[in-house]
A and B are shown apart, each in its own frame.
Chain A
């Protein structure tokens, strides 16, 4: 949990993770969720896709682009299960920001909870960036949260960051627990008005 709450820019080298509808069962296979902490999740990130039959690392992008900070993905990334293990694993592997064509909603919400900006951009822009990373593995990509852009080389991608996510990251109020905890008395009033909530 970052205490440096304001997140306006993230940057670093990139890793393309191509494919549409990449589901969270691929990002983090369920059999690795049997741990009561998120500590080791990076080891399990894309576990099956990253290994060959003998369990050795293959040429999956995550193996080729170690040390990257910006993941670049395609359509409906993170669909399926709501497991926060998936973005947790990406974060712990080193991902600070994601650029993609579109994200599944629960995945995007989970990214917000973790302070990981998720920028959506057009198919053309995303694939061009993925190709550029392949050619420039050491090249820097910068996501500017306020401007909703991703910049690399001399190219600027004008994308879109969900309003709530943008506000949360820029104003440093993505720790929703803290935010909502201060309204606890209002919560009690709302609850008391509901016919199904018994008096406490």
Chain B
């Protein structure tokens, strides 16, 4: 059993009691609500005549069904079902006194983008949301868990979930990121090495020099995809980077109170001699930009590496998954992903929909235009991100390059709004899931990559190595000379 890790300490502080079924009753310090998974929970509460226990610990916004075209945001929404969901949420938050970041607030967006940027997510908290990417908030040194609708009901009614404590795996990321390689590549690398179910039964504590070097937005991207590695949560111990980021944000206290909070934040860090259930080391030196070639986020290679043959995998399940992937993606083992034709490029989501993601993509799009026939979507993770990008003129770069510049939402990450793949379109995507059907078409194909790689793919109309765009001498590009650069 782990001891004196952040996970142990935060768990202890939030543990109310042990339940007769052997689970712990755990207090949830921050509960984030969105329109898709909450209406059923509010209805269950109403059925039982129970009030929301801690309305001030709950915050709501709308993201999954939010239309991202400005003119489609007028109410009532043209999609009746989306309108129903949104008005149900509005009714539920009003009836229960819960703060809601709606379209009018200027702060609407994806829960996992909104809560960090407003300073709602803080170190030493427990965070829950009816969404599996709640691990994102672990970037601040909190325990973030995704929950189902019955657990949302539990949280609304009691402020708690019934939970089993997990094992803690420390992942040391050694080395430092090369140019054109980002936080997204770190987490893809981790999932490649440990597998999509490698984290089952665990939470991941990320640390080591490559993690410490990351800014908060990079850390958020890493923790975001913990669930793709099978881990229930993922976190990073807070440090000066964390505190600097928090300072001055809307929901963060100031002055003396800030200093007092900081004492708490420091106290919940993993001790130097903390004990972990296991420790894994991964080196990120010399790692090239990564892309997925398959239909789960563990099917990852460096962009110029050959696609593996199914029989190169040991486990039967991995072999079968590789076969299915090659068939779905229409790929041959031995080829690389360079030159794989792309129809759609999608930049956004709770993984990579923050200001720095648009910034790095804009560097590549500057003085470039996207390839003919490519449909390119830039969807800020929140309205706050959008306004900030616009204040810096980043939107102009996107629009001039041929991108559609949208309003905030989950958009084509899971296609619950109008943004969707059609037929067997290929999408270069900064999102976190390449499951079959995820982006709205069951024949659709998703290639996961970093924002820089998405921008580069938009310009080339195919998967390419984004690093060539940082080299001013190279103006024309083909898959072959990219291979040379990558070599």
Contact of B148 among A33, A83, A180 (CB under 8 A): A83
Q: Is the CB of A193 closer than 8 A to any CB of chain B?
A: yes
Q: How large is the interface on A (under 10, 10 to 19, 20 to 34, 35 or more residues)?
A: 35 or more
- Across the two chains, which residue of chain B brings its CB closest to A193? B13
Q: Is the CB of B467 closer than 8 A to any CB of chain A?
A: no
Known contacts A79-B230, A164-B162, A195-B260, then 17 further A-B pairs from the complex at CB < 8 Å, ordered by chain A residue: A76-B196, A76-B200, A76-B230, A80-B435, A82-B131, A84-B40, A87-B148, A110-B149, A110-B150, A163-B22, A179-B19, A179-B162, A181-B50, A183-B17, A187-B159, A191-B29, A195-B264
Instruction: Bits for A15-42, please: 1 = Cβ < 8 Å to B, else 0.
Output: 0000111010110011101111110000
Instruction: Bits for B1-33, please: 1 = Cβ < 8 Å to A, else 0.
Output: 000000000000111110111110101010000
**Binding-face segment, B82-90, B300-308, B376-384:** B82-90
Is B53 a contact partner of A187 (Cβ separation < 8 A)? Answer: yes
Contact of A187 among B27, B200, B260 (CB under 8 A): B27
Is A183 a contact partner of B232 (Cβ separation < 8 A)? Answer: no
Q: Is the CB of B296 closer than 8 A to any CB of chain A?
A: yes
**Binding-face segment, A128-136, A141-149, A168-176:** A168-176
- Across the two chains, which residue of chain B brings its CB closest to A165? B21
Q: Is the CB of A198 closer than 8 A to any CB of chain B?
A: yes
The residues of B with any CB-CB pair to A shorter than 8 Å are: 13-17, 19-23, 25, 27, 29, 36-37, 39-40, 43-44, 48, 50, 53-54, 56-57, 64-65, 79, 81-82, 84-85, 88, 122, 124-125, 130-132, 146-151, 153-154, 157-162, 164, 196-197, 200-201, 227, 230, 232, 260-261, 264, 296, 316-317, 320-321, 414-416, 433, 435-438, 440, 442
Residues in A with CB closer than 8 Å to B82 are 34
Residues in B with CB closer than 8 Å to A164 are 21-23, 162, 164
Given A34-B416, A106-B148, A110-B150, also A26-B435 (CB < 8 A) = yes
Residues in B with CB closer than 8 Å to A33 are 36, 64, 416
- Across the two chains, which residue of chain A brings its CB closest to B43? A37
Is B437 a contact partner of A29 (Cβ separation < 8 A)? Answer: yes
Residues in B with CB closer than 8 Å to A31 are 415-416, 440
Residues in B with CB closer than 8 Å to A200 are 54, 56
**In whole angstroms, how far apart are the Cα atoms of A180 and B147 in the complex?**
16
Nearest Cβ on chain B to A130's Cβ, whole angstroms: 14
Is B20 a contact partner of A187 (Cβ separation < 8 A)? Answer: no
Nearest Cβ on chain B to A117's Cβ, whole angstroms: 14
**In whole angstroms, how far apart are the Cα atoms of A174 and B232 in the complex?**
21
Given A34-B85, A167-B22, also A176-B230 (CB < 8 A) = no
Is A186 a contact partner of B16 (Cβ separation < 8 A)? Answer: yes
**In whole angstroms, how far apart are the Cα atoms of A168 and B23 in the complex?**
10
The residues of A with any CB-CB pair to B shorter than 8 Å are: 1, 19-21, 23, 25-26, 29-31, 33-38, 48, 74-76, 79-85, 87-88, 102, 104-106, 109-110, 113-114, 123, 163-164, 167-168, 171, 173-174, 176-177, 179-181, 183-184, 186-187, 190-191, 193-198, 200
Residue from A1, A38, A190 having most chain B Cβ neighbours under 10 A = A190
**In whole angstroms, how far apart are the Cα atoms of A196 and B260 in the complex?**
10
**In whole angstroms, how far apart are the Cα atoms of A108 and B16 in the complex?**
23
Nearest Cβ on chain B to A193's Cβ, whole angstroms: 7
Residues in B with CB closer than 8 Å to A81 are 131-132, 414, 433
Nearest Cβ on chain A to B223's Cβ, whole angstroms: 16
Given A37-B40, A84-B149, also A180-B21 (CB < 8 A) = no
Residues in A with CB closer than 8 Å to B81 are 34-35
Nearest Cβ on chain B to A164's Cβ, whole angstroms: 5
**In whole angstroms, how far apart are the Cα atoms of A173 and B125 in the complex?**
27
